[in-house]
Structure 1
Amino acid sequence: MKKKVQYLLIIAAVAAGVAGPVAYFGGRQGAAPTAGPAAATAAVPQLQPELQALLANYRKIIVLLADEKSLNDGERKAANQVGQALFHENLERLARVQTLLGQAQALPQSQRDAADDALLSYIESSAELFDADRLAFREVLISLQKLAAADQTLPAIKLHKRVSEDLAALEDIEKQYDKELSGIFGRFETRAIVPKRERWEDYIAKLRKLYSREQIMKDYGVIVPYPDPPKTAEQEEQGKEIFGNTLPPKTVVLTFDDGPHGTYTEEVAAILKQYNVPGVFFQVGQNVGKLDAQGKQTLSKNAAESRRLIDAGHTVGNHSFTHAQLSKQKGEALYGEIANADAMLKAADSRRSQLFRFPYGARNAEGMAVLSKLGLRSVMWNVDSLDWADPVPSSIANRVLTTLGKEQRGIILFHDIHERSVKALPMVLDKLIADGYSFAGWDGQAFKVAQGSRPEPEKIAVSTGYANSYAVVIGINDYQKWPKLQYAVQDAKAIRDTLVNRFGFASERVFTLSNGEATRNNILAVFHDKLADARLNKDDRIFVFFAGHGATRQLSSGRNLGYIVPVDSDPQQVSVDAIPMTDLQNIAESLNAKHVLFVMDACYSGLGLTRGGGNTAFLRDNARRMGRQMLTAGGADQMVADGGPNGHSIFSWTLLQALGGKADLNGDGLITATELAAYVAPAVSSVSQQTPAFGSLPGSEGGEFVFQLPAEAEFLSAQSSQLSPEAIAMNSKLDSGRNQQADGNTVVIKNLQGGEQKIAAPKPVDASARQLAQRANDKGLQLYKEKQYAQAEAAFTEALKYRPDFGLAANNLGFVYYKQEKYAEAARWFENTIQIDTSRAIAYLNLGDARMHQGDNDKARKAYSSFLELAPNHASAGYAREQLKKL
């Protein structure tokens, strides 16, 4: 009986012009090929796309709801949401179809008869349709029947009879699906529609080959996020409110209230950076921006400080809009204090956290209920510095340390609006570090300490531990006595730009020599003089890149010795005026820097390198070990291939792609020298005669040179650049060649003595949902640039599963749809982006473009106008104004 009720609901949905959970049947037999929808609608061409779209939506609803009982609550809610959208689209589409059918009946008799016959033949016997598909056209047939009934001519009477028989056949199809699924039924010879009785499960299987539930929902702007991980017992005990007494022993969280301040917040952040510890900043909404009477937001200059804090790895939380005592507030006033501040922080940076601190710690049940409604969590403290009252920095520090001496853990309350707090903070940090305390940061779910970890005051970068970064970049095309090269200078320039613009090397610390500047004396002077004058310290790193000729000379002992060739070297005097690699080894050992990496776009042999080892506690261990490593383009007597894209050698092009993110083999946001070699070496050897080599110089202690990949922040738009067809083709070959030679993350490559070695990327580290989302977005951008739209769409989808409020990924997913000319889907995701972050101007511009392609000029005009209002001086403002003139 339950099954019968469900079926009646399905029929009711079909009668409304859209199917409920009806689905596909299997093998068709005995169906003769007939005219398709194009022939069926030749007289009224607009009818064809409407019928096809009607059927497509019908099928999509079937896929969405076919196994609804197996879905969890979140998936069921999302499926129903999209199903409703599809349902209402079909209602609008049916109205248009009815109008078009009326137009067809107004045609001359011969054309009208031909159109009716073609349309009915398609519905009755098209090989494209299964029985359950025909139920999608029930309302179409009813409309046609009504039109025929209004005409008393003989052709109209015949049409009415034929349509009536088809509708009767549909009733039989409906009844047959309510019987035993395995039943076999005979033909109804008197009817044009002959039911084949395909099995329901087969019909479902066929539809799922055409559509997936996830794709249908995503096309309609809905992605079901990954479920939250189960709460620990500790989290269950503390509920939604977080207290410092639940932290592990000797663990603290540093929190700062009442900012952002125009001066002191930046000073606090600088101290935290110096000590390599995280902080949580609870900010007052009105310090970030203003709200007018209509609720419109205007960000202040302090909003930039919020963004800088998040960029630096800190957490920004909500401290109400005006710092009112919320325990005395209720109703709309209470809700507005919390919600308006959250909206303002979100406008400043969508990455703001869900943490909230009640001003004065004053809270009530209604306030806690508002937090629950808005998805926020209350954070209290158990160590109060009283810096708001105590004017003496040393007294503030002593109070914190004394309280921690008793508590042994806790959330410390500071304020980033007082000079005395800034002065007290280093006193507290010095003592806590000396006493072995760890510092926890917010990972999106809980306060956690980074693995391995106690801060070291000398370190600056959280992940790599480097203080200053230096580079020596050399490129030589115009040799005086050696054959001239084509691409070396271009390679060197691109590497320099990557170091400065992507990895943050200070331009004054990147020493560049090109062509005539790259004499033997000048090259050695850079190492002996400029790097010496820089007064390197133990936490610095040095990157050396050379693009030019290399040479290998066999010594009387039989050992090979490699040389780099300066611009003024004589081929007959290599041992005198070229620079032997042994000199570079000695220079590397003498430099007072933690890690040095040589990358040589030339071919050598005889460097006598050895491999360094890895460690599970990689970054922490790596910070202690000296590293001296080298990657070369090939071995002795090999020619460097200059046929790479965009005027680069193959080796340098591959190196640039590796540094662009492809060499992050374990997805942890870091590229080690080993990962660089593991990507570059097999990729280059797969497309050229070169066999790049890699190893550690004698004296290395196993340390690894590390690049930290910046988080990509590009909102894709029509101005976003993509690679040339030549570059995309080369990257495809490189990736394919690398993958063919890799066993997981392990590859076999050459050392510079000609032997083979296995190298592997370090294991992935634990990552928060926020980090995983960012990495997925970064991967999507990389794929977009290579015009791999399907893969980019999957990557941006993954990012949104981890972070449903990730406006950057939402916009980028929309633009991937836009590039594939799926303008309706693109518009939905641009609108989602705007809902996530109302201040994101580029999403309005993209939305305007999508609406123009849809022919919706009013909505396009509104979107372009909003873009210009938010960003009147944007580089694309002129383009937006031109588009408005066209509307």
Structure 2
Amino acid sequence: MTSKPIKIAVTLAALMAVGGGLYLAKRPATAPAPAPVSGAAAPVGSVDAAAIGAQFREVLAAHRKIIVLLADEQAQSAQLREETRRVGQGLFHDNQARIARLDEALAALTAPGNAGRFEAIDALLSYVESDPDLFDADRLAFRELLQTLLADVAKDSSLPAIKVHKRISEDLDALAEIERNYEKEIRQIFGRFEARAIELKRERWDDYVAHLKKRYTREQILKEYGVVLPYPAAPAAAAEADVKKDEAEIFGTALPKKTVVLTFDDGPHKRYSEEIAAILKQYGVPAVFFSVGRNLGSLDAAGKAKLSAGAEVSRKLMADGYAVGNHSFTHAQLSKQTGDSLKGEILNTDVLLKAINNERAPLFRFPYGARNGEGMAALAGAHLKSVMWNIDSLDWADPVPSSIADRVLRSVDKEGRGIILFHDIHERTVKALPAVLDRLVADGYQFAGWDGSTFKVSKGATPVAEKTPVTTGYGNSWAVVIGIDDYAKWPKLQYAVRDAQGVRQSLVEKFGFAPERVVSLKNAEATRTNILAAFHDKLAHGGVQRNDRIFVFFAGHGATRKLSSGRDLGYIVPADSDPNQFATDAIPMTEIQNIAESLTAKHALFVMDACYSGLGLTRGAGSSSFLRDNAKRIGRQMLTAGGGDQLVADGGPNGHSVFTWTLLQGMAGKADLNGDGLITATELAAYVAPAVASVSNQTPAFGSLPGSEGGDFVFELPGETEFLSPTTTQLSTAAIALNSKLDASRPAPGEERKAAGAPAGAVTVKDLQGVEQKIVTPPTVPTSARQLAQRANDRGLQLYKEKQYAAAEAQFTEALKLRTDFALAANNLGFVFYKQEKYPEAARWFENTIKMDPSRAIAYLNLGDAQARSGDVAKAKGAYRTYLELAPGGSQAVYAKQQLEKI
């Protein structure tokens, strides 16, 4: 068998994978069948065994996510590496809290008073030993829990307890073997091991990591923990080389060459802290232990320290000459804390440390390295100094001691000096430490305690100036909107008036048409005389200027008459027309053409939700310098719902025809085919015509009216400003179903167009004579990152309303990559998580929103909802109260008060 070294996950360069088969152990025939750990089970005594099993699975999930986050770490950018470590530490500490709760639950489960404890323990052990979903490396996640379980069972002297104790001991031996396996090269062949409950599979670590990456992605894990990394910034025109010395914090980069400081966080631990101190004493090296206050004791109502057993561990460390510093009271992320809460995290632990020994080291380490200006000021007020690190052992993530040691040594070789971050709450750190010290001593490194050294920081790159936003350059905007359902002599319609109302609302509310410049005619108002007067009197002589635009919408009957020449002539039918005389009392398309030519506006677009034929249209075209050229050219264009022998398809969503519904969806943003924030009439037709044809018997037509100079009517999409909340309306089931069909009808970019011999960006659309033509949409206009972020947010909002949550999440993520301080997108991403019942993830993004925009009241309301659903009642109440302070008369004030009363 050929062998070669294999790089191990979490960039464990020192580890080598083990080949061989993957076999499941079989329990003896006399043993009871293992009960499913996560299934429904009756509580044992007062302990819910099924809940314990579910927590075991959560411990495993966090273990796996940490590995995925940190895999291939050396290939990550510095920013990605920093964020993955920060989120990984958050995952780790969440898991530590979960394990602490499990320790208590296991102690209760194994109490002699619980008659069913052995069945429950059997189910847990069977899961760890033989669940088919577990890899060997997965089982390392349960090592500390099994050690706790072993100690708990040892308190019971009954025969069944003795048997269980033996079984757990064998499982721990197997876990030790798993750990050793990952330290061997693939060429090593293992002989047969004595049969155990955990039969070693010996899979390659790379295979294990590949398996995990199928379940999780690094980007998704980061996003769920409130992180979206921006796209890499463009190189600055001139990088600033000078660096500034900041004495507020120490990173270790200013230490003398070949000098390191050993630091240990999160203790004191009842067992491992003293073991680490004993190792340090053997080598004669100093260290700093950063203690979490709740591990030392508590404070009574008067603020007096009440020390616990953990304080005695710290007392011994201080007595042995080791510095013991402050690591906050609860290990909270202090960058998100303010006021008394933040000060309490710092000062309460300081009180406890002083109660142990007034000579405590005046050092502080922010949990996760997360700090803010207020936190730094609080440290200064307490006369404490912040100590960071520049070498991370990742012992909180890496389950294999030799890998931890290798990583530290490689990092020290690279950095040449610095502060090393360890944790004194892991057995693996105890095992890794001697190997690290042996090598550093041999290489001539010095070990320093805290010496007050400062650190260096480099200024950030100069931001790239944003491009000037593109604009359409119009003066005023005018519109004539006509809808007729109630015909006197023609068949009555059901949807035309609502279609007209929907178009008017979009023009006024979305595109900023002044209401006084929008002429609306419905039903009996839409006579032939009034329609013509609207064009001639209110538009032609009503103040329309050469730089203006005009939008005309008609929903009603259309008709076609064949002339003696054989040519078809189309008509729009007013409310007072007679079917027997429509040639004289309807309005022919030639009249519409004359009206279009008489208007002084730069661009006019006629949209007719009526089916007829009878007007030839010229071909539309795009331009590489679209906005500049378009501003010089007169544009007269028309989009119709279908041909003369076709009926309008009514019965669309929300009381609209299929054509008008599709038109409104296009105007809402779907017709922005090149993503530049502009919707041209050509793009609108390119979106509407194929989509309508795919779901109905209509064939919409489009083109430029004779006399047009090639100008293209343009809508400029406004940036959406809605912060998603429970009041945000979503589309009906029918609307979502139709939109899905419309979107599905669109060909893959360029495929059908190339097949038809059309240029890239071309779409086949019929003109009013039924002849196919190729229209070309305008190319993308360069835009700034800020504009691109806004467009991504807008698409996300549209997708959210269609309940396409995964696609919406992707768009809001894109917006945040482009613009890291985009509070709107942060809130909306959080709300997508909320809708998917991912409440902790949602809360993180609402907190991000508030950090970006502290005055945004709706984000506090959303945060309160997410925290309430997560079970964090105290924080939820605080968020609701803040909302009421910011918006006492807000639309959701009543709701917020109700929530405060309910929770």
Fold agreement, TM-score > 0.5: yes
Question: What does residue 493 of structure 2 align with?
Answer: 485
Which residue in 2 is equivalent to 1:858?
A: 874
The one of 77, 86, 101 equivalent to 1:81 is 86
Per the alignment, residue 275 of structure 2 pairs with none
State the partner residue of 1:519.
Answer: 527
From 174, 177, 181, the equivalent of 1:176 is: 181
Question: Is structure 2 residue 210 aligned with structure 1 residue 205?
Answer: yes
Question: 1:632 is paired with a residue of what secondary structure?
Answer: strand
Alpha-carbon displacement from aligned partner over 1:42-81 (angstroms, at most 9, x marks no partner)? 5422202211110000000110112111111001000100
Higher-helix-fraction structure: 1
Partner of 2:832: 816
Amino acid at match of 1:79: T
Choose from 164, 173, 176 the match for 2:169: 164
- Change over 3 Å in CA distance of 1:760–1:31 after alignment to 2: farther
For residues 865 and 25 of structure 1, the distance between their equivalents in structure 2, rounded to whole angstroms, comes to 58
Q: Distance in 1 between matches of 2:616 and 2:601?
A: 22
2:105 is aligned with what amino acid?
L
Measured after TM superposition, the shift of residue 192 of structure 1 is 1.1
* Shift in alpha-carbon separation, 1:165–1:221, aligned structure 2, 3 A: same
**Cα distance between partner residues in 2 of 1:209 and 1:24:** 21
Report the CA distance between 1:614 and its aligned residue.
2.0
- Structure 2 letter corresponding to 1:196: K
* In 2, Cα distance between equivalents of 1:184 and 1:543: 79
Matches within 5 A, 1:721-870: 721-739=729-747, 743=753, 745-870=761-886
Report SS of the residue matched to 1:89. Answer: helix
Tell me by how many angstroms 1:742 deviates: 5.7
Residues 132/613 of structure 1: CA separation in 2 closer, same or farther (3 Å cut): same
Distance 1:373 1:615 in 2: 45
The code of the aligned residue for 2:865 comes to D
- Which secondary structure does the structure 2 equivalent of 1:695 belong to? strand
Distance (Å, rounded) in 1 between the aligned partners of 2:96 and 2:573: 75
For residues 387-428 of structure 1, give each alpha carbon's deviation from its aligned partner in whole angstroms, at most 9, with x where no partner exists: xxxxxxxxxxxxxxxxxxxxxxxxxxxxxxxxxxxxxxxxxx
TM-aligned CA deviation for residue 620 of structure 1: 1.1
Aligned to 1:349: none
* CA pair 206-842 structure 1, distance change in 2 beyond 3 A: same
Separation in 2, partners of 1:688, 1:682? 10
Q: What's the secondary structure of 1:526's corresponding residue?
A: helix
In 2, Cα distance between equivalents of 1:755 and 1:68: 59
Task: Spell out the pairing of 1:694-709 with structure 2 (5 A cutoff).
Answer: 694-709=702-717
The one-character-per-residue Cα deviations of 1:174-223 (angstroms, maximum 9, x if unpaired) are: 11111113544344243111001111111111000000011111111111
Larger RCO (CA within 8 A; separation ≥ 6): 2
Seen in structure 2, the aligned counterparts of structure 1 residues 6 and 490 have a Cα distance that, compared at 3 Å, is closer
Q: Are residue 692 (structure 1) and residue 700 (structure 2) matched? A: yes
Question: 1:650 is matched by which residue type in structure 2?
Answer: V
Say whether residues 1:227 and 2:232 are aligned partners: yes
Q: How does 1:168-317 map to 2 (within 5 A)?
A: 168-181=173-186, 183-232=188-237, 235=238
Q: Secondary structure at the match of 2:765?
A: strand
Identity of aligned pairs, percent? 63
Change (3 A) 1:630 1:219: same
d(CA) in 2 for partners of 1:851 and 1:742? 49
Tell me which residue corresponds to 1:50: 55
Q: Displacement, 1:760?
A: 2.6
- SS in structure 2 of the partner of residue 37 of structure 1: coil
Q: Indicate conservation of the 8 Å contact 1:187/1:194, yes or no.
A: no
2:632 corresponds to 1:653: no
**What is the one-letter code of the residue matched to 2:208?**
Y
How many residues were matched structurally? 672
Work out whether residues 544 and 600 of structure 2, in 8 Å CA contact, stay in contact via their aligned partners in 1: yes
Q: 1:760 to 1:24 in 2, by over 3 A?
A: farther
CA 1:166–1:448 in structure 2 vs 1: closer, same or farther (change >3 Å)? closer
CA contact (8 A) 2:619 2:774 kept: no
1:749 deviates by 1.2
Shift of 1:30: 4.6
Unaligned segments of structure 2, at least 5 residues: 27-32, 244-338, 341-375, 378-456, 754-759
User: What does the per-residue CA deviation read over 1:512-547, in whole Å, with 9 as the maximum and x for residues that have no partner?
Assistant: 110111111111111111113312111011100000
Deviation at 1:803, TM superposition (A): 1.0
CA deviation digits over 1:781-829, x for unaligned, max 9? 0110001111111111111111111111111111000000000000001
**For residues 621-663 of structure 1, what are the alpha-carbon distances to aligned partners after superposition, in whole Å with 9 as ceiling and x for unaligned?**
1011000000000011100000200100000000000000000
Q: Cα gap change, 1:774/1:742 in structure 2, threshold over 3 Å: closer, same or farther? A: farther
Q: For each residue in 1:30-50, what CA deviation from the matched residue of structure 2 results, as whole angstroms up to 9, or x when unmatched?
A: 566965322697542220221
* Distance in 1 (alpha carbons) for counterparts of 2:620 and 2:80: 49
Partner of 1:599: 607
Name the CA distance, whole Å, in 1 between partners of 2:500 and 2:714.
20
The code of the aligned residue for 2:833 comes to: Y
Secondary structure of 1:762 counterpart:
coil
Name 1:265's counterpart in structure 2: none
Q: Quick one: distance in 2 between partners of 1:639 and 1:487? A: 13
1:117 & 1:187 partners in 2: Cα distance? 25
Q: Return closer, same or farther for 1:747/1:101 CA change in 2, 3 Å cut-off.
A: same
In structure 1, runs of 5+ residues without a counterpart are: 12-19, 241-293, 296-330, 333-371, 378-443, 451-461
Of residues 465, 475, 485 in structure 2, which corresponds to 1:446?
465
Aligned to 1:877: 893
Say if 2:32 is the partner of 1:37: no
Distance 2:62 2:127 in 1: 18
Between the aligned partners of 2:18 and 2:817, the Cα distance in structure 1 is 30
Q: TM-score, normalised by structure 2?
A: 0.71
Which SS does the other structure have where 1:867 is aligned? Answer: helix
Question: Cα distance 1:376–1:120, how it changes in 2: closer, same or farther (>3 A)?
Answer: closer
**Cα distance 1:672–1:447, how it changes in 2: closer, same or farther (>3 A)?**
closer
In structure 1, what is the equivalent of residue 260 of structure 2? none
User: What is the alpha-carbon distance in structure 2 between the residues aligned to residue 795 and residue 39 of structure 1?
Assistant: 37
